[in-house]
Amino acid sequence: MCAALYAAGSYVTANIPSPWGFGQFRPAVVIPAFFSVLFGPLPAGIGAAIGTLIADSIKHGGLYFGSLFAAVPGNFFGFYVFGSICRRFSWRRFIIATNVTLTLANFLTAFLYLYVFKFLYMQALKVSFTDILTLSFGLTTWWFVTMLPFVLMITPLLIKAASLTIPSIVPEDVRRGSLNNEFPKASFGLSLLIPGLILFVLGLLVTFTDLGKMIMTVNKLSGIDPLQILLYSSGVTLMLLGSYPLIRQFRITSMSK
């Protein structure tokens, strides 16, 4: 179920690329995140690995080695870790799992794709190892900030809905935690605010340093303006979304005193 749903959800947005020219917009990560919490690390990890391979291969019209070399191990590792952190469920652990998974797994996927597939296997990248690391961090940042809001805002709703409508498939600690424990507003706000700041700073680096020129050269982009707009707008949006619960929490705390 995880593989099928993840493949279908990933394929819907498969043709929306990242600003770097490779990688794609993938809000469907909410599906393996949901399965990680309810069914544990192994079903979610295997389902995510198979699902991403199916979606990428359908998009490219055959078995896609870029996915096999990078996305498969990255997705398996990421959602296995996600499920492992959430074994003893709490919303705080869920937020930690989201941040850890989206950082480590996305960097692993980006590096394997750029270095193993593009540089070693395809020999399509004629850049230095430092440039590959820089692009890996850039692609990781893109995936992180575009996946994070979906996982933090949609997955909890799916978990709560499952706890209410199909409680028999939800582990007791997850059901108890999802229905009785309040979502930590401060941690939630910081989890959106900090990536927003990172994205905004990345926009500044693209505008005022050689990073923008390097991205254009490596990816053969005609211009950097759309990338700047995307980085600044996404950064400001995430900062606003993250600031709201923090300000609200501060007001509640001030009033209680």
d(CA 53, CA 24): 14
Q: For the chain, which residues make up each domain, given as ranges?
A: 2-181, 184-257
In this prediction the pTM is 0.84
pLDDT of residue 104: 95
CATH architecture, range 2-181: Orthogonal Bundle (1.10)
pLDDT of residue 230: 73
CB atoms within 10 A of CB 20: 19
Residues of the chain with pLDDT under 70: 214-226, 252-257
d(CA 13, CA 202): 24
pLDDT digits (tens, 9 = 90+) for 184-211: 778 888 888 888 888 898 889 888 887 7
pLDDT of residue 192: 85
